[in-house]
Structure formats: C-alpha cells, structure tokens
Amino acid sequence: SAIQFVPEIAKEAAHLDLYQRTPPWIMPKPDREIRPLERAMFRRFPQTLNAFRQSIYWMLEARVLGFVGNPRILKVGELQARRHIRNQIKDKELRKKVTPDFHFGCKRVLISNNYYPALDQEHVDVLTEGVREVKGNTIIDNNGTERPVDCIVYGTGFKAQEPIPRGMIFGRGGQDLLDAWREGAEAYKGTTVAGFPNFFMLMGPNTGLGHSSMVYMIESQVQYVLDAIKKMDHRGWKSVEVKEDAYSQYNASIHAKLGDSVWQTGCKSWYVNENGKNTTLWPGFTWQFRQQTRRFDAEQYVCESAEVMEQGGEPALAG
C-alpha cells in the first residue's frame, strides 16, 4: 500500500517520515499507451489482439520457473531491481536503506516508477529504527527518538493467515472452520474442505499468485463450482463433501511442491504462517490449475441424495 500512497502524500506534505519495516524488491512498471498503429491493427486483424494477449500471458507464466522450479533464475530479476534503485535514487545511504537482504521473490515483488523518486527528496525521510510507541502526536522509535506528527497513515500489510473470522462457518458436528484450520488454512483445489458439505470458496487457500492474474484463477474456480451445482441438480444430490483422503493427498502434493520454492527461503512474509506453512500461493502454472478445475470430479466426493438424507441412510459414493 505504501508504494501507492507515499508518492501522492509526498506531493502535498511539508514533511514526510516513512517508518520502513522491511524494504521490498520493486521492479519498473512497464505501462505505456497503446499506439495508434497497434489500435488500427487490432481492429482490422482481431487475431493479433489475441496474440498480443497470449504473449503477455506466457511471459508472466514463465516466472513460475523461478518461483517454484529454480529460484536461482530469479537472480536476473534481482539485478534488474537493483538497477532500478540505482537509476532512481541518487543518495547512496538511501539506496542501502531500500535494498532488501532477502531472496528476490521470497516476499511479494512490487511494481512502481514513482516510489523511489518520492523517497529521494529533501522533505522525505526513510526511517529504519522501527516504532516503539505512539504517544499523543508523537512517534517514538526503538532508539527513543521522538518525532512530532500531524497525521499517521497505517500501511501495515495483510492478515492473509486470518482470512475468516471465528463463528462464521460451521461444518459437520458444529465444527468451526477455524478449528479445522488449526495448523493453517487448506482446501481441496482451493475450493472445498473435508467436513464442510456444500461449502465452496473462491480465492481459497493456495490459489494466490505472485506472477499472474487472479482473475484467471477465479474464473477457473467458478467453472468448477458451477459444474458441481449442475451435477448436483442433474443427479439429485443435496450434499457433496470432499473425501478426507482426497483432501489430504491434494494438500500433501501442494506443500511438497512448495518446499523448494523461493517463498520458503527464510524471509518473513504474509504468504507463510507462524509454523512455516505457505497457505496462500499456488505452486505452479495457472493453466495447470485450470486443467484441474475444468470439471467437478465427483469421484473424489461423498455425494448424498435427498432420499438418503431424509432417511438417515448411507451416502452414495460417486463414481
């Protein structure tokens, strides 16, 4: 959030103190206006627009090779990010303050062209001593230095490990979803949870991305859920619940892939919980997730018909 609001506040404030907790890796933002010739070509030959879109998609997908396959590949991105710092900040001491000491990609990589120039101004100070106390209109850092302020803007990050408040979702036997997630959030294909029949999520555990569009992942999950609802309607099922073994095996495979990823190289990020478990990111290509969710795999679920539920009999096992 800070890389978005700091440049705007710096334009208006007489003085700005930025209390930096951990500097992020920041890449140049490659935005540009679509040229008139390109617009004309897209209108006349619509297939070129799709080709352009595909080129962007596959360029972004290639980043997975570094994030999950071989983190050493990301050294290329780190070199570009370091060059970005040198190009945009003249002050050598400030360069040191904003240069991360962790692997490129371990935390979320950010994109901005105006954050570093905003910091490299006379009326902006980057402070790295942390905040010990806020007392009245004064901030006291960990060295005991007091600085008066008129306004405080909090940019303290995400609470991705606390996605749902307690008391909102209950499964079989009245189990709270947070109790099922004591060791960290997990789901089958980021969508369903064992013990919670007819509960579907979008953007659930391990569907987040560090390289591509979440819209693509959401569309994939929507397809999966819609197919589930259609099959329930067609076959007369009133309840579907992912089998415990399918649930466990799926999550074991997810975390086996995450084990060698750049996200597990030791930095503290909102991707990983206090037990070191990455509950947020998808460890692969987005097209692989779309393949997994192209149809509702009822064979991995316990499916109960209306008659069985009314009579209290055994559920039908879908095959």
Is 144 domain-assigned? yes
Average pLDDT of every residue of the chain = 92
The pTM score is: 0.86
pLDDT beyond 70 at 310:
no
Average pLDDT, integer, range 227-248: 97
Q: State the average pLDDT over residues 122-144.
A: 95
Band (pLDDT 50/70/90 cuts) for residue 318 is very low
Of 289, 259, 263, 267, which is closest to residue 74 (Cα–Cα)? 263
The per-residue b/e assignment along 67-80, b for 16 or more CB within 10 angstroms, e otherwise, is bbeebebbeebbee
Is residue 204 included in any domain, yes or no? yes
Establish if 294 belongs to a structural domain.
Answer: yes
Position 137 pLDDT exceeds 60: yes
164 part of a folded domain: no
* 117 and 177 assigned to the same domain: no
Question: What integer pLDDT is reported at residue 244 of this predicted model?
Answer: 97
- Rounded Cα gap, residues 35 and 33, in angstroms: 6
162 within some domain = no
Tokens of 160: 């991705």
> Do the Cβ atoms of 9 and 153 come closer than 8 Å?
yes
Residue 61 lies in domain: 2-148
Which DSSP helix (H) or strand (E) runs through 197?
none
Length of the chain: 319
- How many independent structural domains does the chain possess? 2
Q: Is 159 helix (H, G, I), strand (E, B) or coil?
A: coil
As a whole-number percent, the residues of the chain with pLDDT over 90 amount to: 84
The span from the CA of 27 to the CA of 308, in Å, is 57
305 backbone dihedrals φ, ψ, rounded to 5°: -85, 165
Q: Are 67 and 105 spatial neighbours (Cβ–Cβ below 8 Å)? A: yes
